[in-house]
Amino acid sequence: MQNNLAIIKIRVEKLRQQIEEARYAYHVLDKNLINEGALDSLKNELFQLEQQYPQLITADSPTQRVAGQVSEKFAKVVHRQPMISLYDAFSEEDMLSWQERNHNFLGQKLEVDYYAELKLDGLAISLRYERGQLIQGATRGDGQVGEDVTTNIRTINSIPLRLRQPTDQELRAIGLSKAEIDKLRIILDNDFLEIRGEAVMTKKNLADINQRYQSLGKPLLANVRNAVAGSIRQLDPRITAERRLDFYAYDLLIADWPRGQVIAKRHQADRLANLLGFKTLPQNQVCANLAVVFEFYRQMEQQRSVLPFEIDGTVVKYDDLRLWNQLGVVGKAPRYMMAYKFSALQATTIVEDVVWQVGRTGVLTPAAVLKPVKVGGVTIARSTLHNFNEIKRLGLLIGDTVILERAGDVIPKIVEVLPKLRSGQEKEITPPRYCPFCNGLVKKVTDQVAYYCPNKNCYAVNLRRLRHWASKGAADWDGFGPKIIEQLVEQGLVENIADFYSLTIDQLKILPGLGEKSASNLVDAIKQKKTLAIDRFIYALGIRQIGQESATTIADFLASRLKLTSGEHNLLPDRLAVAAGALTLEDWQNLPDIGPKVAQSLTEWFSDPINLKLINLLTAQGVRLSYSQPLVGQQPLAGRSFVLTGSLNSLTRSQAEATIKQAGGHITSQVSRQTDYVVAGRDPGSKLAKAKQLGIKIINEEELLTLLKRS
Ligand code: IVH
């Protein structure tokens, strides 16, 4: 335990160093060292560790401070009311516990409206208007003291230099009474007003600027947030103007009045900001409860990529502004609002292992097995590393903390290793020596990157096996065409049959051509057919020489060996494999239509450890087997095994065989311990002697006919 704590302490310290370094670069040097989402992941990991081990919290931990530091370049502005920060939520559970905390704090369950807003990704700006005139624009800085950036923000067209004068009619329309309108006018004419909001740059604008900069050979702007900060926190207003920034208001402070006076609701404040000449977000919405908020969040996450500006989540606020005063601030942020953030497009996680997969040309592709992490709204547990050179380029070791990125709607990939977070326990990744599928020796062409399996059939055989499993006579999954199966193999999501059963909607929906709906259909198709009839299962295994018909014979035989009754649906594949594995070549050959070659193939299959491991995995994935005898009532010989010897009186040999089979019995050619009856006619052969020797029941034709009639 002590040892464990020591390891965690080292991790915590390394996380702090990395976070501080990135923050200093970003806030003071205006340099982006590490993407915000990835940084958030690290902060979140640190926060979680500190929650778990509070003894490790220190006053200088990045979790204990408000972001930002004031640059020496600008005059300082002391905020009349601090520009505090927000607490982050990442899940519905987080939001529900936020609500519960507030109910506990107030001592009552509130059933009030929320105002759900988009969380714009840009730079927070506070604008001060005196007697309707813009007199100062400031950044947030450390929340208490910001930077005076008035000259620069005056170039932003969506910021009015003088407040618009709304008409009485307009103010009435947003719900103000005559008395309130009069009060407001006095302020507008004689006092001050502060508008807070986000300065932003559209994605298109950023792309245009970067295109121009590229042709001029100038360094590119990393992202909109950086571009906005860089445009405002610099000394030449012409640059700010050239960047064509936008501004959206999200808060309104009317002189030194407490919140909720004149303007009672947050949604009204948005309308008033419009009337005063500001843009607000048209998407913002009053929500009657958190369920509606969650729906808003989901819709916005979906629209995210088509919105003109970047958003990184929603901000959920109580609509009633008087509640804001009651709830107040705790620590670094208010109780009355919460940032409910989208899962970032970059996140950090740990590489737990690297496995190799055989590709279509025999090339072995490495894939990182990851500690599952949410990135861009999908949970990722594996990521392809392309080839060994990529591992070297990244400098990746097993155990490393890495940055995973989801760019656009594609499958996330590892873009960077964070070597400063290493503990010293990381392991080097070595090229593969044996093919993971066929166990053959791996080769490498001297002047090429790739390692490959020289067994030409290796990939094809595996692919065929996977396709066969999904096919009609086998597991019979709708939608699993050859193309999808190939993609699953290429992406490292499916290596063997058992892997199909752990596929998730998240993994499937990001494959080219698949969306949420078809992904969910595919997962359902697998789930619904997790129980297979024994004959399908045996056929699906793809054992050489075993077709559907022989699979049925084998299924019936194994079912009788296992004494299964019709209607069984919970047989573990493991049990079936044990029963099959106990059979000798001779036993198999005794089954009708099973010759020496097929028997050979069966014994080999059921004694190969690779196959048995596969069956173990299927069992572990919850695959179960069912058995039902067709027409039970009319099959008095179901599961019984017969050997015929000598000639009968009323039936020919083939008539006798057909009748026994029809009644559910099996005919085998040799007497063994598994034989139930030996039917002895005239001039029996050595089989009769063998039956006597083994103590098998011997019957004559008459007795056989009696058995057949019994139903
Ligand atoms: S409310 C208490 N509303 O998010 C200060 N902030 O992570 C919060 N932001 O610094 C102000 N969109 O710059 C608020 N609709 C919105 C927002 C928003 C973006 C920014 C804001 C703040 C940061 C906190």
Ranges of CATH 3.30.470.30 domains, the chain: 83-341
pLDDT surpassing 80 at residue 27: no
**pLDDT tier, 168 (very low <50, low <70, confident <90, very high otherwise):** very high
Mean pLDDT of the chain: 90
* Residue, of 108 and 631, whose pLDDT is higher: 108
* Residue, of 371 and 456, whose pLDDT is higher: 371
pLDDT surpassing 50 at residue 628: yes
The conformation of residue 345, written as its DSSP 8-state character, comes to: S
CATH topology of domain 459-529: DNA polymerase; domain 1 (1.10.150)
Antiparallel, parallel or unpaired: β 123-130 and 76-78: unpaired
Q: Residue 128: how many CB atoms within 10 A of its CB? A: 20
Q: Which of 44-58, 115-129, 297-311, 465-479 has the highest mean pLDDT?
A: 115-129
Q: Residue 348: how many CB atoms within 10 A of its CB? A: 28
Mean pLDDT of 349-370: 88
Residue nearest to atom 9 of ligand 1 (CA): 119
Ranges of CATH 3.40.50.10190 domains, the chain: 641-709
Mean pLDDT of 501-508: 90
pLDDT surpassing 70 at residue 397: yes
Q: Phi first, then psi: what are they for 679, rounded to 5°?
A: -95, 115
Residue to mutate, 86, 279, 283, ligand 1, most ligand atoms under 8 Å from C-beta: 86
Q: Which pair of tokens denotes residue 658?
A: 């057909």
Mean pLDDT of 568-590: 93
Lowest mean pLDDT among 8-22, 289-303, 396-410, 451-465: 451-465
Q: Phi first, then psi: what are they for 342, rounded to 5°?
A: -75, 155
317 Cα–ligand 1 center, Å: 11
Is there a contact between 414 and 383 (Cβ–Cβ < 8 Å)?
yes
Atom of ligand 1 nearest to the CA of 314: 15
**End-to-end CA gap in the chain:** 68
Ranges of CATH 2.40.50.140 domains, the chain: 346-444
Q: Phi first, then psi: what are they for 78, rounded to 5°?
A: -85, 120
What's the CA dihedral at 583, 552, 616, 624 to 10 degrees? -130
Atom of ligand 1 nearest to the CA of 117: 15
Ranges of CATH 1.10.287.610 domains, the chain: 2-64
330 Cα–ligand 1 center, Å: 16
Ranges of CATH 1.10.150.20 domains, the chain: 459-529, 532-627
CATH topology of domain 346-444: OB fold (Dihydrolipoamide Acetyltransferase, E2P) (2.40.50)
pLDDT surpassing 70 at residue 632: no
pLDDT at 176: 95
pLDDT at 696: 92
CATH of 2-64, picked from 1.10.150.120, 1.10.3720.10, 1.10.10.10, 1.10.287.610, is 1.10.287.610
pLDDT surpassing 70 at residue 103: yes
Q: What is the 3-state secondary structure (H, E, C) of 418-474?
A: CHHHCCCCCECCCCCCECCCCCCECEECCCCCCEECCCCCHHHHHHHHHHHHHCCCC
Mean pLDDT of 322-336: 93
**pLDDT tier, 711 (very low <50, low <70, confident <90, very high otherwise):** very low
Mean pLDDT of 98-117: 96
**pLDDT tier, 29 (very low <50, low <70, confident <90, very high otherwise):** confident
Active site residues: 119
CATH topology of domain 83-341: D-amino Acid Aminotransferase; Chain A, domain 1 (3.30.470)
CATH topology of domain 532-627: DNA polymerase; domain 1 (1.10.150)
Is domain 641-709 in CATH 3.40.50.300, yes or no?
no
Helix, strand, or coil (residue 706)? helix
Residue to mutate, 120, 309, 321, 337, ligand 1, most ligand atoms under 8 Å from C-beta: 120
Atom of ligand 1 nearest to the CA of 281: 15
689 Cα–ligand 1 center, Å: 93
Closest listed residue to residue 666, CA positions, set 593, 595, 603? 593
